[in-house]
């Protein structure tokens, strides 16, 4: 298997920070804001899952959300592409903007929104079709019919997600035959294929082994140049390795939001410090 | 077939116990073989007299001693086909509605209604067919179209007909196919739908390109099971099909308003007039043919489901 | 690209989605409407012709079907007496043989389940009724034969549910008993079977409800009777009477058929509800 060839090399360079992030140059709050949340309250029926969430998400960089289970970080992530719309009895107040446009304006077309804001889920969820058809699914529904165009796009996205070399000879085979890590990279390629601007990742590595996790992290580091990435993670080391900015969620509130470097070295809140140092979680 | 169970420690009590169990399981086997053998034995007169022509002959005439079931066989196939054509799109649509669109408060009453209707005996559907459906189709469809000469939509048109039988069968398998398909659609993982929505798919795109292909094998199975029911259905069909072969040389007609026969309805209908001997033997042979067809359909359904299931999971 | 101004392609897709989903809703509506019409006529016509006399007078004596109800209950009783013990034992066999022949047995239950009821009827006719009538002219059709036919239909249903219910019993339970040195039959009888009791009872009730309305097998076995008959001769059953009266030219009989249909459905329904209640009480026990 190809993955094993890279194994030893990867482990040697398993670094604490992958990204070539020049942490010292980062302002505490991002300058170029892609997504802005202002005072977001979110309810599942009568249960309030988010309380006054306010934070900025920087363009073409990685923002991580950390916090204990049930703190609202995934819920918040899912408000950005309005995935929560699919659940009955949910309600949102406050203002959430993408490039200055209100995402919850009644005129917003969720089809366009979700094309612009891609998502990668906790468990790899490839469709039970061929690898090619998985990547081509998005472009096809959005109207790309030309075979050559599709071929080129599929290849490009599989290159981007660092999967091309492993699957180029078996594009017609079922995606379900891939390993978990490969499936997740396929899901990333599938999300990239509709050329989104933002990529939401909901604990993308929680179902993967360390080696696959590392490969996904390397990939995220590559993608940061072109995409605004928001990642929810349980794994604080992961947040530290891949992100520029980190938000700490607790009981539906954002307790702290600042650069990743600062939040992990000198958090301003006691709860953040307690969580990061494993005193609860 | 050896139906013993190996035991690590053989105690006399357990030996008897396992023997009794094995015997009970054996009953099934004996029954199925027994059904085939008994039907074959009791129809031997007819088999000897008519041979394979039994399925190709178009005449069933007690006086002449000629027994052919081609019109019945055709009627079984044709009425089942009509039933599937009507029931499958409606059931699938309804299953999609129930699984994907239905508001919560409406779900329980509809589910209850479906279960209720699946429990109604076939003879009751037949009663409804005679007194409600048949006059309705006659007055609203057959009489207005009587002189229009539309292909298929013509024939005697006095009410009981192939169409009436097809419609009543469709109504009977509708709750069944809907319920099974809905369960299958509901079982599709949420992650699959989310993946499609997350890429900007509309609801219909998600259903048609992700949910339906994913559940293809199960839905085919549901339809085949519905077909199996339509095939062997007796009472409701007997009551509305007219029990009369078409007035053509071949004894069959594609015209929907023409009365007809199915194997099951012919069997139920001709039983009272049957004389001992060849006549009864020929009737029992219809039972034998139905038995064989039922076993073939069920095995095919199972095989098909297994094959499609494999291709999805590859 | 703005999120607000959908281009024509997105509008087209939205329209397509809306149209297809509307079609699905229409399909559901059509289905419900038709099925509603069935229920409406049953309730309306059945109720208007229902009266207490129907249950006390035999068809031969006047407007009633007393003999049919008694016949149905008797035949169902015989069917249960045959199918329940064999079905439960067969179900236990599938569980005990641990997959060895279980697949074969499961396949056979499926085959038996898929055989049309009319074939079961003609089988019992060919195997029981015909030989007896040939040996003893004037005999043959009997309530017993009807019971056998319905028992054959119940058998695969009971086997299947018994096996499923036994499989739900945690294996730790039987292992505990076996570990104490109990024999397998004692373990099954005093530990496993009681644990699955409620589920098996539900399965039996549902099987009875399912065959209670069967008509086709009875045409060939009990033949029907306008008066109270003996089980070893021609008897009547509610679905059979309903069939005869529905296809009768006598309008009075047609009306009684509607009442018989309603009665039959209520019987079936009561059994289904009873089955559901047993399941529910069992679930509460588990809590």
Q: What is the CATH number of the domain that holds C135?
A: 1.10.3720.10
**pLDDT attached to residue C4:** 76
Do C36 and C95 share a domain, yes or no? no
Q: Which residues contact B131 (CB under 8 A, 6 or more apart)?
A: C41, C45, C246, C254, C258
What secondary structure, in 3-state letters, does A151-214 show? HHHHHHHHHHCCCHHHHCCCCCCEHHHCCHHHHHHHHHHHHHCCCCCEEEEECCCCCCCHHHHH
Answer whether B113 touches C (CB < 8 Å). yes
Res B165 pLDDT > 80: yes
Same domain, yes or no, for C16 and C89? Answer: no
pLDDT (0 to 100) of residue B156: 81
Q: Are residues C31 and C76 in the same domain?
A: no
Q: Is it the case that residue A12 has pLDDT exceeding 60?
A: no
Give the mean model confidence (pLDDT) for residues B265-282: 90
Q: Does A106 touch chain B (CB under 8 A)?
A: no
Nearest CA in chain C to A98: C3
Evaluate if residue A248 carries a pLDDT over 60: yes
Q: Are C3 and C118 in the same domain?
A: no
Beta pairing partners, A256: A248
Query: Per this entry, what is the length of chain B?
Result: 314
Which chain A residues are closer than 8 Å to B198 by Cβ? 81, 83, 114, 118-119, 121, 191
**Do residues C220 and C170 share a domain?**
yes
Which contacts qualify for A54-58: CB closer than 8 Å, 24 or more apart?
A54/A254, A55/A247, A55/A254, A55/A257, A56/A29, A56/A30, A56/A257, A57/A30, A57/A33, A57/A228, A57/A230, A57/A245, A58/A30, A58/A31, A58/A32, A58/A33, A58/A34, A58/A228, A58/A244, A58/A245
Q: How many secondary structure helices (H) and strands (E) does chain A include?
A: 11, 10
Asked if residues A274 and A267 have their Cβ atoms less than 8 Å apart, the reply is no
User: Chain A neighbours among B 103-142 (CB < 8 Å)?
Assistant: 104
Same domain, C34 and C148: no
Residue B10 pLDDT level (bands cut at 50, 70, 90): low
- C250: Cβ contacts below 8 Å, ≥ 6 apart: none
Collapsed DSSP state (helix, strand, coil) of residue C263 = helix
B5 has a pLDDT exceeding 80: no
Over residues A179-193, the mean pLDDT reads: 94
The verdict on A37 touching C (C-beta cutoff 8 Å) is no
Question: Distance (Å, rounded) from C-alpha A233 to C-alpha A73?
Answer: 9
Cβ separation of C13 and A111 shorter than 8 Å?
yes
Q: Which residue has the higher pLDDT, B90 or C229?
A: B90
Q: Which chain C residues are closer than 8 Å to A108 by Cβ?
A: 3-4
Rounded-to-integer distance, Cα C133 and Cα B188, Å? 56
pLDDT at B191 over 60: yes
In the stretch 145-174 of chain A, residues with CB closer than 8 A to chain B read 174
Q: What is the mean pLDDT of residues B59-77?
A: 91
Task: Note whether A109 contacts C10, CB cutoff 8 Å.
Answer: yes
Residue tagged 């281009």 (tokens): C7
If pLDDT is split at 50, 70 and 90, which confidence band does A21 have? low
- Positions in chain C whose pLDDT score sits under 70: 1, 5-6, 98-100, 280-287
Contact C4 A105 (CB under 8 A): yes
Say if residue A223's pLDDT is above 50. yes
Closest Cβ opposite residue A121 in set B194, B213, B314: B194
Is the same domain home to C141 and C183? yes
Mean pLDDT throughout B61-89?
93
Contact (Cβ atoms closer than 8 angstroms) between residue A245 and residue A231: no
What is the distance in angstroms between the Cα of A33 and the nearest Cα belonging to chain B?
Answer: 23
Same domain, C100 and C242: yes
Is A141's CB within 8 Å of B191's CB?
Answer: no
Whether residue A7 is predicted with pLDDT greater than 80 in this model: the reply is no
If contacts are CB pairs under 8 Å, which of residues 134-173 in chain C contact chain B? Answer: 152, 155-156, 159
- pLDDT reading at A25 higher than 80: no
| Residue B9's pLDDT band (cuts 50, 70, 90) | low
Please check whether residue B242 is in contact with residue B160, taking contact to mean a CB–CB distance below 8 angstroms.
Answer: yes
Which residues in B123-148 are b (16+ Cβ under 10 Å) and which e?
bbbbbbbbbbbbebbbeebbeebeee
Mark yes or no for CB contact B295/C115 under 8 Å.
yes
CA distance B102 to A199: 32
pLDDT at C35: 87
Confidence check: pLDDT of A151 > 50: yes
Q: How far apart are the first and last CA of chain C?
A: 56
Task: Name the domain count of chain C.
Answer: 2
Using CB atoms, which chains have 3+ pairs under 8 A with B?
A, C
CB contact under 8 A, A108 and C13: no
Interface of C with B in 21-80 (CB under 8 A): 21, 23-28, 30-32, 34-39, 41-42, 45
Q: How far is C287 from chain B (nearest CA, A)?
A: 24
Do C15 and C140 lie in a common domain? no
- Residue C128 and residue C63 share a domain: yes
Which residue of C35, C96, C191 to mutate against B (max B Cβ within 10 Å)? C35
**Radius of gyration of the CA atoms of chain C, in A:** 25
Strands annotated E in chain C: none
Quick one: pLDDT at residue A13? 44
Mean residue pLDDT of chain A comes to: 87
Minimal-distance CA residue of chain C relative to A106? C4
Residue entry with tokens 């194994």: A7
Q: Which domain holds residue C4?
A: 1-49
Q: How confident is the model at residue A5 (pLDDT cuts 50, 70, 90)?
A: very low
- B198 and A128 within 8 Å at the Cβ level: the answer is no
Instruction: Say if residue B84's pLDDT is above 70.
Output: yes
Q: Is the pLDDT of residue B147 over 80?
A: yes
Q: A23 and chain C: CB distance < 8 Å anywhere?
A: no
End-to-end CA distance of chain B: 34
Mean pLDDT, to the nearest integer, of A99-123?
Answer: 91
Cβ–Cβ contact B77 with C under 8 A = no
Are residue C42 and residue C143 in the same domain, yes or no?
no
* Min Cα separation C99/chain A (Å): 29
Chains touching A, CB cut-off 8 Å, 3+ pairs: B, C
Cβ–Cβ below 8 Å for B231 and C23: no
Does residue B6 register a pLDDT over 70?
no
Across A208-217, B152-161, C60-69, least confident range: B152-161
Question: How many angstroms separate the CA atoms of C126 and B276, rounded?
Answer: 12
CB contact under 8 A, A83 and B198: yes
pLDDT for residue C98: 66
Per-residue model confidence (pLDDT) at position C78: 97
Main-chain dihedrals φ then ψ at residue A124, nearest 5 degrees: -55, 130
Interface of B with A in 157-196 (CB under 8 A): 189, 191-196
C4/A142 CB distance under 8 A:
no
The answer to whether C25 touches B101, Cβ cutoff 8 Å, is yes
Mean local confidence (pLDDT), B162-185:
92
User: Terminal CA-to-CA distance of chain A, rounded, Å?
Assistant: 37
Tell me the average pLDDT across B118-146.
93
C171 and C272 share a domain?
yes
Whether B214 contacts chain A with CB within 8 A:
yes
User: What residues in B contact A119, CB-CB < 8 Å?
Assistant: 194, 198
């Amino acid at each position: 298997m190809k993955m094993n060839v890279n194994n030893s090399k990867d482990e040697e360079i398993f670094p604490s920070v992958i990204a070539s992030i020049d942490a010292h140059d980062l302002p505490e709050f991002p300058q170029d804001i892609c997504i802005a949340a202002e005072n977001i309250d979110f309810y599942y029926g009568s249960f309030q899952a988010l309380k006054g969430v306010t934070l900025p998400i920087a363009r073409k960089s990685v923002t991580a959300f950390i916090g204990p289970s049930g703190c609202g970080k995934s819920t918040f992530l899912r408000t950005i592409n309005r995935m929560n719309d699919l659940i009955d009895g949910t309600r949102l107040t406050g203002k959430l903007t993408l490039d200055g446009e209100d995402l919850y304006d009644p005129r917003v077309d969720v089809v366009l929104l979700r094309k612009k804001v891609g998502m990668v889920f906790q468990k790899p969820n490839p469709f039970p079709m061929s690898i090619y058809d998985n990547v081509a699914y998005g472009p096809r529904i959005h109207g790309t019919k030309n075979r050559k165009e599709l071929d080129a796009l599929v290849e490009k996205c599989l290159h981007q997600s660092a999967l091309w070399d492993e699957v180029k000879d078996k594009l017609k085979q079922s995606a379900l035959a891939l390993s978990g890590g490969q499936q997740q990279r396929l899901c990333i390629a599938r999300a990239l294929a509709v050329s989104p601007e933002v990529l939401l990742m909901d604990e993308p590595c929680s179902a993967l082994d360390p080696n696959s996790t590392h490969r996904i992290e390397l990939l995220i580091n590559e993608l940061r140049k072109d995409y605004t990435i928001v990642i929810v993670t349980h794994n604080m080391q992961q947040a530290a390795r891949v992100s520029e900015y980190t938000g700490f969620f607790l009981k539906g509130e954002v307790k702290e939001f600042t650069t990743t470097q600062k939040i992990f070295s000198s958090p301003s809140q006691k709860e953040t410090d307690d969580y990061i140092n494993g005193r609860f979680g | 077939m050896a139906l013993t169970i190996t035991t690590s420690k053989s105690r006399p009590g357990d030996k008897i116990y396992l023997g009794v169990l094995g015997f009970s399981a054996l009953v099934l086997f004996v029954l199925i073989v027994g059904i085939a053998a008994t039907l074959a034995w009791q129809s031997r007169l007819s088999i000897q007299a008519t041979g394979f022509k039994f399925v190709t002959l178009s005449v069933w005439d007690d006086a002449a001693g000629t027994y052919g079931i081609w019109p019945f066989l055709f009627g079984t196939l044709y009425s089942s086909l009509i039933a599937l054509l009507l029931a499958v799109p409606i059931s699938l649509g309804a299953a999609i509605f129930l699984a994907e669109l239905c508001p919560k408060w409406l779900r329980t009453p509809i589910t209850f209604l479906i279960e209720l209707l699946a429990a109604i005996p076939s003879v009751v559907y037949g009663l409804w067919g005679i007194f409600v459906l048949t006059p309705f189709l006659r007055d609203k469809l057959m009489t207005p179209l009587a002189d229009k000469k539309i292909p298929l939509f013509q024939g005697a048109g006095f009410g009981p007909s192939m169409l009436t039988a097809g419609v009543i069968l469709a109504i009977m398998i509708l709750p069944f196919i809907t319920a099974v398909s809905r369960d299958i659609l509901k079982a599709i993982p949420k992650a699959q739908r989310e993946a499609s929505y997350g890429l900007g798919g509309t609801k219909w795109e998600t259903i048609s390109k992700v949910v339906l292909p994913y559940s293809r094998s199960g839905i085919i199975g549901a339809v085949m099971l519905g077909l199996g029911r339509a095939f062997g259905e007796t009472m409701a069909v007997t009551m509305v099909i007219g029990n009369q072969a078409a007035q053509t040389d071949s004894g069959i007609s594609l015209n929907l308003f023409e009365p007809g026969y199915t194997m099951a309805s012919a069997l139920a209908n001709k039983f009272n007039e049957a004389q001992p001997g060849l006549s009864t033997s020929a009737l029992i042979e219809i039972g034998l043919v139905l038995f064989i067809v039922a076993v073939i359909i069920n095995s095919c359904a199972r095989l098909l489901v297994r094959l499609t299931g494999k291709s999805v999971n590859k | 690209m703005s999120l607000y101004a959908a281009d024509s392609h997105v509008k087209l897709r939205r329209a397509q989605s809306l149209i297809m989903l509307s079609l699905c809703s229409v399909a559901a509506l059509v289905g419900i409407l038709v099925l509603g019409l069935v229920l409406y006529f049953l309730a309306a016509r059945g109720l208007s012709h229902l009266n207490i006399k129907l249950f006390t007078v035999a068809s031969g004596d006047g407007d009633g079907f007393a003999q049919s109800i008694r016949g149905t209950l008797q035949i169902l009783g015989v069917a249960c007496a045959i199918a329940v013990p064999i079905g439960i034992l067969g179900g236990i066999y599938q569980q005990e043989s641990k997959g060895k022949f279980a697949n074969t047995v499961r396949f056979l239950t499926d085959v038996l389940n898929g055989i049309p009821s009319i074939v079961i009827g003609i089988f019992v006719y060919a195997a029981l009724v015909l030989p007896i009538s040939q040996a003893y002219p004037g005999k043959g059709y009997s309530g017993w034969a009807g019971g056998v036919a319905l028992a054959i239909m119940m058998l695969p249903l009971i086997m299947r549910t018994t096996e499923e219910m036994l499989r739900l019993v945690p294996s730790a339970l039987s292992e505990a008993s076996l570990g104490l040195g109990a024999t397998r039959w004692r373990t099954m009888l005093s530990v496993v079977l009681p644990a699955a009791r409620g589920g098996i009872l539900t399965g039996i009730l549902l099987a009875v409800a399912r065959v209670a309305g069967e008509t086709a097998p009875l045409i060939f076995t009990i033949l029907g009777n306008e008066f109270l008959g003996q089980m070893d001769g021609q008897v009547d059953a509610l679905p059979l009477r309903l069939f005869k009266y529905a296809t009768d030219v006598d309008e009075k009989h047609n009306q009684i058929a509607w009442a018989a249909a309603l009665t039959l459905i209520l019987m079936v329904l009561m059994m289904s509800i009873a089955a559901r209640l047993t399941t529910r009480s069992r679930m509460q026990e588990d809590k």
